[in-house]
């Protein structure tokens, strides 16, 4: 094993593990994967020796690949194994797919005020060298625990590679972990700063939840019974910037790109693909649409998405090539055989709107334009938050809990709405929605 992964979800298995399998014919770079949520998946993959099927679903055909890069699977709470791997000099990379909220880091790189993180840091502070690893509830806590074990073992550097939709994700995770480590152990802070490389990434491959039909398709294409296949689109992208002091797989052989700066690509993907996904969910769910393909097929919603893309393109950095990317996105979204559920996308919408849509709105306003499409998108999100309080969105739950807590996203959106002049009715709608009762 030379790679440890945190977050054993479908996306990891369709993306990082797939890239490694395609490029690592000699099985040098085996992955030890740890779950965050699904314990059932651990049992299924363990029974299958880590093997599973990736079904690539084009509009008119399917093809399957048996992936064997995951050499070991563990429950996230198996900290003995996690610590053991990170203290092993053969392990040189830790990748992570835990969603934006899993890192518990604010957009400015500071850790969020979180009792669970506080408890993990207190446990790390009291962890002595020869004691068993203490329980850790959060991803930052587990990462710091593993890094502390590596520091104590004195086995050399390591690369941390976050693969979630956070701007400058490598730098952001570095800032958050250093701030938390500073509360636990000054020696750990210095060691991380000097020894740990943080790689920023852009990842892109639509991977919806697999249905029973996908299990049947995997069996038909391979002849094998697979209890844990993944289904994904043929398109895939991985862009990385950063150092790997102890080496890495030749991921570029499967199409990965290594660049000096990921920012042009991450902003393009964040606002155009992820921003459009959030808009499709916000506007599509109230109309009864269930999937991305259904929502993009609605002319009214597609018009909103395309107008948002026009606004977003004006704020992208040179080299992003938004026109060809938009053409690709329309084709990918319209693929009727990729059932990417809108309710899956709608999870954590408050954080997603802040990262994906609000920056476009503010850039348009700063340039003297109306930002009408961005404002409509935010209004759709506010409406969805009122209509569907059952959707998993911890930030929205906090905002709904008491009116005097509304000093962040919603209040900020209300202030932005006051500045909208191109469409007074839209401004009034957005401002009213942002200032309505806490359930908004």
pLDDT of 117 > 80? The answer is yes
Report the pLDDT averaged over residues 64-93: 97
- For 267-276, 325-334, 367-376, 378-387, which range has the lowest pLDDT when averaged over its residues? 378-387
pLDDT of 157 > 60? The answer is yes
Q: What is the pLDDT of residue 20?
A: 98
- Give the residue with greater pLDDT, 194 vs 393: 194
Q: What is the pLDDT of residue 430?
A: 42
Q: 383: which 2 tokens?
A: 């409406």
- Give the residue with greater pLDDT, 355 vs 405: 355
Positive or negative torsion for Cα 316, 198, 84, 18: positive
Beta bridge partners of 31: 3, 70
- Give the residue with greater pLDDT, 110 vs 427: 110
Report the pLDDT averaged over residues 83-105: 95
Query: What number of residues does the chain have?
Result: 440
Q: 411: which 2 tokens?
A: 């209040």
Q: 407 falls in which pLDDT band (50, 70, 90)?
A: very low
Q: What dihedral angle (degrees, nearest 10) is formed by the CA atoms of 315, 318, 319, 323?
A: 40
Q: What is the pLDDT of residue 349?
A: 83
Q: 382 falls in which pLDDT band (50, 70, 90)?
A: confident
Q: What is the pLDDT of residue 436?
A: 36
Domains 3-258 and 263-434 share a fold: no
The strand ranges marked E within 205-274 are 230-232, 237-241, 257-258
How is the chain split into domains, by residue range? 3-258, 263-434
> How many percent of the chain have pLDDT more than 70?
89
pLDDT of 90 > 50? The answer is yes
pLDDT of 433 > 50? The answer is no
Q: 395 falls in which pLDDT band (50, 70, 90)?
A: low
Q: Which CATH number fits domain 263-434: 2.30.30.100, 3.20.20.70, 1.10.1040.10, 3.30.70.20?
A: 1.10.1040.10
| Residue-wise pLDDT tens digits, 218-230 | 999 999 999 999 9
Q: What is the pTM of this model?
A: 0.82
pLDDT of 335 > 70? The answer is yes
Report the pLDDT averaged over residues 340-363: 88
Contact 77, 120 (CB under 8 A): no
What single DSSP character describes residue 64?
Answer: E
Q: What is the pLDDT of residue 358?
A: 87
pLDDT of 401 > 50? The answer is no
Q: What is the pLDDT of residue 413?
A: 52
Chain CA centroid to CA 269, Å: 12
Q: What is the pLDDT of residue 189?
A: 97
> How many percent of the chain have pLDDT more than 90?
72
Q: What is the pLDDT of residue 352?
A: 85
Q: 201: which 2 tokens?
A: 């990434």
Q: What is the pLDDT of residue 108?
A: 82
In terms of CATH, what superfamily is 3-258? NAD(P)-binding Rossmann-like Domain (3.40.50.720)
Query: Three-state SS for 87?
Result: coil
Mean pLDDT, all residues of the chain = 88
The span from the CA of 406 to the CA of 375, in Å, is 19
Distances (CA, A) of 417 to 162, 307, 314, 433: 34, 18, 20, 10
């Amino acid at each position: 094993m030379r790679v440890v992964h945190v977050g054993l979800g479908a996306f990891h298995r369709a993306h990082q593990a797939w890239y490694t399998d395609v490029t690592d014919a000699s099985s040098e770079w085996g992955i030890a994967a740890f779950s965050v949520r699904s314990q059932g998946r651990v049992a299924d993959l363990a029974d299958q020796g880590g093997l599973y099927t990736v079904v690539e679903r084009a509009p008119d055909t399917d093809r399957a690949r048996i992936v064997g890069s995951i050499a070991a699977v563990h429950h996230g709470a198996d900290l003995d194994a996690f610590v053991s791997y990170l203290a092993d000099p053969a392990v040189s990379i830790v990748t992570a797919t835990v969603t934006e909220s899993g890192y518990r880091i604010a957009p400015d790189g500071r850790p969020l005020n979180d009792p669970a993180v506080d408890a993990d840091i207190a446990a790390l502070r009291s962890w002595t060298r020869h004691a068993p690893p203490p329980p850790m509830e959060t991803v930052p806590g587990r990462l710091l625990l593993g890094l502390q074990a590596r520091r104590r073992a004195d086995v050399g550097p390591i690369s941390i590679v976050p693969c979630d939709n956070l701007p400058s994700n490598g730098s952001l995770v570095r800032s958050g972990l250093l701030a938390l480590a500073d509360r636990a152990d000054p020696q750990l802070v210095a060691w991380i700063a000097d020894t740990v490389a943080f790689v920023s990434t852009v990842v892109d491959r639509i991977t919806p939840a697999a249905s029973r039909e996908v299990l049947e398709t995997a069996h038909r294409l391979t002849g094998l019974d697979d209890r844990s296949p993944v289904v994904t689109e043929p398109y895939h992208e991985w862009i990385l910037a950063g150092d790997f002091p102890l080496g890495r797989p030749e991921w570029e052989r499967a199409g990965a790109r290594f660049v000096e700066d990921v920012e042009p690509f991450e902003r393009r993907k964040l606002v155009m693909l992820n921003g459009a996904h959030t808009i499709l969910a916000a506007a599509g769910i109230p109309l009864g649409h269930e999937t991305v393909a259904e929502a993009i097929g609605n002319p009214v919603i597609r018009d909103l998405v395309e107008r948002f893309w026009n606004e977003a393109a004006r704020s992208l950095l040179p080299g992003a090539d938004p026109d060809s990317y938009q053409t690709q996105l329309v084709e990918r979204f319209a693929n009727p055989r990729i059932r990417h559920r809108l309710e899956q996308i709608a999870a954590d919408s408050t954080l997603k709107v802040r990262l994906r849509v609000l920056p476009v709105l503010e850039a348009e306003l700063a340039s003297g334009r109306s930002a009408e499409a961005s404002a409509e998108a935010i209004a759709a999100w506010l409406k969805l938050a009122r209509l569907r309080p059952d959707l998993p969105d911890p930030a929205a739950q906090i905002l709904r809990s008491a009116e005097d807590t509304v000093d962040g996203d919603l209040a900020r959106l209300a202030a932005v709405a006051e500045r909208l002049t191109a469409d007074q009715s839209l401004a009034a709608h957005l401002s009213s929605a942002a200032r309505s009762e806490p359930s908004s």
